[in-house]
């Protein structure tokens, strides 16, 4: 039974912030000073010579670091789960960094985009050096991982593909993948929701910002569609281009192709070397995921297999897309072991 | 208020059958003798010199002609609605032919396929001549139309594209179109349903046939996926090829392309001349259609517009996919007027 | 696999009608001449001296005898199932009578009411004698049973309680019972649906009759609420009295008590002798029944147990309220055996 | 647009705790030291002679004070909304106290029970005096109010009925009421959920505590049923007694009556004087509330009307049970005005 009031930790959770040069003058006017949480495992303060692997935690769409402290009855927060994992010695210790990549659209997909800002570069070129400078990390790709759920799982999949020099492991929980199932049906819903706005998602966006958020049934769908368009298919002027006709839903092929170019399943062949060099790959999802990300997980695994990468952990479990945070600690332990150099395989 | 017991008609409904040479030795062993219902309007027997336009009615998936007599409380059957339309002089009279194109998979999509049989040819080259021989029809394309709902609407869209020499008008109610929304999400559901069959749709099919039908939640989805594959993407040996990997849902591009080649929206450009020559085009769907066929309807209309075809009737209405049979009579009247030669436009 | 077109029967199905004196001048102006279907088992015509038990089949709300011929793909009709049961010798033969007790409200609950008419008496005092006179029945309670689903199951439960002199067996499939779960939640939905009619169910009824039926989401709920009120709680003038305030849903205790007086679970103690004398009691329901009639079935069984009645068949199965017609034949066989005098127990 | 990271307040939010003598040795072993949040409006520190009315905020089931800081994207927390209300001078200032009444079952319903503890007395006899002692309150019933949602709305309704000497105003948002609609249908769901525990809710409770919470679909239903039984119908030994048979759902009348005795709608007649003396009554709910608490709100208003109490605010709005926290500030302003003595009516 979880006592709801007193989250005493065995380790420490530091609230920090970073002044990002890369996010300065981002197109949405979002702050360039960003918060982050740094979890230091039990014992960190005891042995000043010891260095630790680092796992960067990425959030799902509409997440921002302060939501990590949201509490649900009868369930610990994720930072508390992390702490319990290390306090109970179920995992080698590591430093866990909770990343903020929020935008005014609710997310960045952890990519560089003229529609939102340079969040990929901020993560790789500012946040990682900051953490390495401020904490006793094992500052090499082989000791650095990424983990996340949903959009965060997407970030965890693509970032090591793009920067194998920085990251040596990933864990994706219900990460965005196989876009024909996770995104296409949303477009159909979006078209219907846009009828009251005469097909103008800008009109919806203005409305959404002017009233209480999420009081219209399809607000979440439209926010995601608009926000991901800002990440994947912004025009040169930064305005999001929709990958579908807002009246009929007909696919706009060239814009949709820009989305597909970011589908982790489709990205694998071009990044097989990067992926093949990773120390740790963990893939999971719930078999009832509302966005069919269990299929995305399976397809991502299959794509890795086709690329000859078979040293990975894959599992599905009876769950939807929500309430699966108790599934993260085993993945974190898996990463911690692999990134500590404690597990060495034939690779 | 509908009296449920005594459906007295002003016209006549004849139960006929036709011996099809084209369906003989169809791959599924389905009967080659097929029933049809022929509705003759009030007055047909009074003036032996009068000839009538004909509208062929196609059914949705799992429909067969005897289901036209299924009765729901408080609602007339469709043949009764047809009769009431003509009895009340809301439409010029026409002959209405209820077509049977059932297969053991639950439908034929009104196409020729090695997976099911030659249902398109049976309709065009056997049924139409039969009706013209047996009844006082106006035996020309300008006086012959097709109407249907769901798969029947699909049949009504594609048949005049392929045979403008035979058909001069169409009405589609929630007809299958824009396959990325009506079919793709079904594939994701099918993958999940196939888990208990280890991804083998043949195992499901054997199970489905051996037990009480439709007692498994996803029976309808799997039946449709299998049946439409038999129609659109059968192999040379007649076996249905799925357009997706049954474990991951990943699209099998070449098979999926065979489906897309049958998407009415995508077929329009290649058949613009045929469509442009039609006397009557009626398109409708419910705005809450569970397969997003309101988007399909809109996209089909847009494709026609892009092809320069603007003389058509389009409407959407507050409804789902079911219970919209009261929407058919206005379309039938529209066809009857246009195919009677009573409406002549600038075309 | 079911061939959809040719329902050839081994026995015979006769369409008959009966002129009811008791239904003459019924308050709704519904016809006093009523259809019925009489199924005669294989062999009926071969041995003119043989007599048969009779099972009367009652329908669910909005059912009327002609709906027994409605066909669904891949599934036989219920009369065809009955025929197959006897044709395959899985049951002793019996005569099966399909009863019509439709009213303008969609049903009668098989009770006498100033709101609808004398349907209980019509069944017991007109239909049974008619069948006994016209067919070679075993004309005694010990050889006469009732079976039905939903409202028909309700009728099958209550009729033998009231007339043990006439009926010796019953089978209830998802029969209406335990009204706090099957009816009360409907009242809450009805209140919401009535908001657009300012709480006036009469205004809804006028609207429902003037437009296409069942095009408003809650039509079914309101029809059932109104119709059952007409059966259970009509005023002296025949007008249905609602058991709840149409604005707040607050229960009107005395009217609700009139409904509860017709709850089979609550009726058992007062009719224990009648029930204890039955030859056959079959109770079943699906464990996912949308009206919680699995709980109703359990509570009815428990009430019988408390009354000392333990010789009964009870089962639940994985199903909802719909599509359970394949569950009827085993119950019919059970009744046929017991009512043939083939099974005799310690009672 | 809400900036997600920096909740700067115009007033102050103090985290306090109280050592409760009344909760010591509560039957569940829950802590007797309880947190509370005290919001002090802008200006509180500027004028040490000024006194303020107080509104106590009660939470819904499974709520505990730290959940008030849970953040959702694009929406402020409720304390931030409170602060914005006062900062913008849309309301006279008042002190707002966020009460903790959590138990191991997830809630206390703010009543005294041998099943949970003396939470009503703790609120009235310990928390109120504590606040009056520690802050510059207007320490009289006419200046003291209660507000809450769901179970918190229930607490806001019943507490002034029981202690009009302490409280002079209430605001209920979707408060538990009209138990035949908000609770009875849950019993039916609970029976089904208990099948896998052979009807033993104690077995479910042991299971729930031993595994990850809320991973079984009906966990929320069972928790609520068990917890409310602990509040309303505990036995002398403190064990919750269910108001229904766990196998059939049949109501256990005497236990259910104990629940009904706590139905605010049914409590009104016996507490009409207390309610008639209140300065402020605010009642609202969403018209799509999943527990039909819009009907409960309507029935509570109607009961007040029948008791002659007509000076109240009542409204419903298009919403479900969740996400209605933006509806609280207008009610708080209403209470603040009435409890400041700024509005005086004919009473």
Cα–Cα dist B39/D327, whole Å: 60
Confidence band for B345, pLDDT divided at 50, 70 and 90: very low
Q: Which of D150, D176, D159, D179 is nearest to D256 (CA)?
A: D179
**C-alpha dist (Å) from residue B67 to A162, A182, C4, C52, D53:** 58, 37, 9, 33, 70
Share of chain A above pLDDT 70, in %: 96
pLDDT tens profile B158-176: 999 999 999 999 999 999 9
Q: Which of D188, D256, D225 is nearest to C178 (CA)?
A: D188
Q: What is the mean pLDDT of residues C70-89?
A: 96
Nearest to A35 among D2, D5, D67 (CB): D5
Residue D3 is predicted with a pLDDT of: 52
The DSSP output letter for A149 is E
Q: Which of C109, C92, C104, C202 is nearest to C151 (CA)?
A: C109
Cα–Cα dist D80/A252, whole Å: 42
Q: Contact at 8 Å (CB) between C36 and C16?
A: yes
**8 Å CB contact of C287 and D195:** yes
Residue B1 is predicted with a pLDDT of: 36
Cα–Cα dist D160/D106, whole Å: 23
- Mean pLDDT taken over chain C: 95
Share of chain C above pLDDT 90, in %: 95
Q: Contact at 8 Å (CB) between B49 and B80?
A: no
H or E element that contains B334: helix B328-339
Give alpha helix (H) positions in C164-248. 179-182, 184-194, 201-210, 219-232
Poorest-confidence range of A102-111, A184-193, B63-72?
B63-72
pTM of the complete model: 0.96
Kindly list the residues from chain A whose CB atom is less than 8 angstroms away from the CB atom of residue B294: 192
Strand, coil or helix: B335: helix
Residue D8 is predicted with a pLDDT of: 86
Tell me: pLDDT of C343 over 70.
no
Nearest to B209 among C1, C5, C65 (CB): C1
Strand, coil or helix: D56: strand
B interface toward C at CB cutoff 8 Å?
A: 1-5, 31, 35, 62-67, 69-75, 100, 102, 104, 106, 208-209, 212-215, 319, 323, 326
Length of chain C: 347
Tell me: pLDDT of B208 over 50.
yes
Residue B45 is predicted with a pLDDT of: 95
Provide the CA C54 distance to its chain's centre, in angstroms: 16
Q: What is the mean pLDDT of residues C26-41?
A: 97
Tell me: pLDDT of B6 over 60.
no
D interface toward C at CB cutoff 8 Å?
A: 178, 180-181, 184-185, 187-188, 191-192, 195, 245, 247-251, 265, 287, 292, 294-295, 298-299, 302
**D95-98/D54-58 β-pairing:** parallel
Cα–Cα dist A275/A271, whole Å: 6
Q: What is the mean pLDDT of residues A183-193?
A: 98
Q: Is the dihedral of CA A314, A317, A323, A327 positive or negative?
A: negative
Cα–Cα dist A52/B325, whole Å: 68
Which phi and psi (to 5°) does residue D229 adopt? -60, -40
Q: Contact at 8 Å (CB) between C50 and C136?
A: yes
Please calculate the CA angle D176-D179-D180 and round it to the nearest 5 degrees: 145
Residue showing tokens 């029967």:
C9
Which phi and psi (to 5°) does residue D114 adopt? -65, -10
Residue D347 is predicted with a pLDDT of: 43
Tokens coding A147: 């983990």
Confidence band for B8, pLDDT divided at 50, 70 and 90: confident
Kindly list the residues from chain B whose CB atom is less than 8 angstroms away from the CB atom of residue C212: 75, 326
Q: What is the mean pLDDT of residues C264-279?
A: 98
Task: Quote ipTM for the complex.
Answer: 0.95
* Most distant CA pair in chain D, distance: 63
Cα–Cα dist B142/A182, whole Å: 45
Q: CA of D177: which chain C residue's CA is closest?
A: C250
The HSE-up count of residue C257 (CA atoms within 13 Å, CB side) is 2
Please compute Rg for chain B using Cα positions: 20
Which phi and psi (to 5°) does residue A92 adopt? -60, 145
Tokens coding B341: 């030669």
pLDDT tens profile C165-180: 999 999 999 999 999 9
Share of chain A above pLDDT 90, in %: 95
H or E element that contains C113: strand C112-113
- Neighbouring chains of A at 3+ CB pairs under 8 Å are B, D
Residue D341 is predicted with a pLDDT of: 86
Q: CA of D320: which chain A residue's CA is closest?
A: A215
Q: Which of D51, B63, B277, A138 is nearest to C71 (CA)?
A: B63
Nearest to B178 among A192, A249, A265 (CB): A249
Q: How far is C303 from chain D (nearest CA, A)?
A: 10
Cα–Cα dist B244/B232, whole Å: 13
B interface toward A at CB cutoff 8 Å?
A: 178, 180-181, 184-185, 187-188, 191-192, 195, 245, 247-251, 265, 287, 292, 294-295, 298-299, 302
Residue by residue, pLDDT tens for chain D (347 residues) are 345 555 689 999 999 999 999 999 999 999 999 999 999 999 999 999 999 999 999 999 999 999 999 999 999 999 999 999 999 999 999 999 999 999 999 999 999 999 999 999 999 999 999 999 999 999 999 999 999 999 999 999 999 999 999 999 999 999 999 999 999 999 999 999 999 999 999 999 999 999 999 999 999 999 999 999 999 999 999 999 999 999 999 999 999 999 999 999 999 999 999 999 999 999 999 999 999 999 999 999 999 999 999 999 999 999 999 999 999 999 999 999 999 986 554 44
Q: Which of A2, A5, A8 to mutate to test the interface with D (most CBs of D within 10 A)?
A: A5
Residue A346 is predicted with a pLDDT of: 41
Q: What is the mean pLDDT of residues B278-300?
A: 98
Q: Contact at 8 Å (CB) between A169 and A278?
A: yes
Tell me: pLDDT of C331 over 90.
yes
Q: Which of C98, C96, C100, C9 is nearest to C53 (CA)?
A: C96
Residue D1 is predicted with a pLDDT of: 37
Q: What is the mean pLDDT of residues B183-197?
A: 98
**C-alpha dist (Å) from residue D107 to C143, D64, D128, D192:** 57, 8, 19, 23
Tokens coding A326: 């108790």
Q: What is the mean pLDDT of residues A178-198?
A: 98
């Amino acid at each position: 039974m979880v006592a709801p009031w007193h989250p005493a930790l065995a380790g420490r959770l530091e609230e920090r912030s970073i002044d990002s040069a890369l996010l300065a003058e981002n197109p949405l006017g979002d702050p360039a000073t960003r918060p982050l949480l740094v979890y230091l495992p039990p014992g960190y303060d005891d042995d000043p010579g010891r260095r630790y692997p680092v796992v960067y935690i990425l959030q799902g769409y509409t997440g921002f670091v302060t939501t990590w402290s949201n509490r649900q009855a009868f369930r610990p927060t994720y930072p508390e789960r992390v702490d319990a994992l290390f306090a109970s010695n179920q995992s080698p210790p590591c430093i866990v960094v909770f990343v903020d990549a929020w935008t005014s659209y609710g997310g960045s997909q952890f990519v560089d985009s003229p529609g939102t800002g340079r969040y990929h570069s901020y993560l790789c070129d500012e946040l990682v050096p900051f953490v390495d400078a401020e904490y006793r990390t094992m500052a090499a790709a082989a000791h650095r991982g990424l983990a996340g759920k949903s959009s965060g799982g997407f970030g965890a999949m693509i970032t090591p593909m793009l920067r194998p020099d920085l990251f040596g492991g990933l864990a994706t929980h219900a990460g965005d993948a196989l876009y024909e199932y996770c995104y296409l049906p949303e477009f159909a819903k979006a078209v219907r929701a846009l009828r009251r706005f005469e097909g103008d998602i800008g009109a919806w966006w203005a409305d959404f910002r002017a009233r209480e958020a999420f009081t219209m049934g399809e607000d979440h769908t439209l926010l995601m569609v608009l926000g991901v368009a800002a990440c994947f298919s912004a025009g040169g002027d930064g305005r999001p281009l929709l990958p579908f006709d807002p009246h009929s839903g007909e696919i706009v092929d060239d814009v949709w192709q820009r989305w597909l170019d970011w589908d982790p399943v489709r990205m694998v062949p071009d990044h097989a070397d990067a992926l093949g060099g990773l120390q740790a790959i963990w893939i999971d999802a719930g078999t009832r995921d509302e966005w069919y990300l269990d299929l995305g997980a399976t397809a991502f695994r299959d794509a890795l297999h086709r690329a000859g990468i078979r040293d990975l952990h894959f599992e599905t479990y009876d769950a939807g897309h929500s309430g699966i945070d108790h599934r993260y600690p085993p993945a974190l332990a898996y990463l911690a072991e692999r990134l500590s150099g404690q597990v060495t395989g034939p690779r």
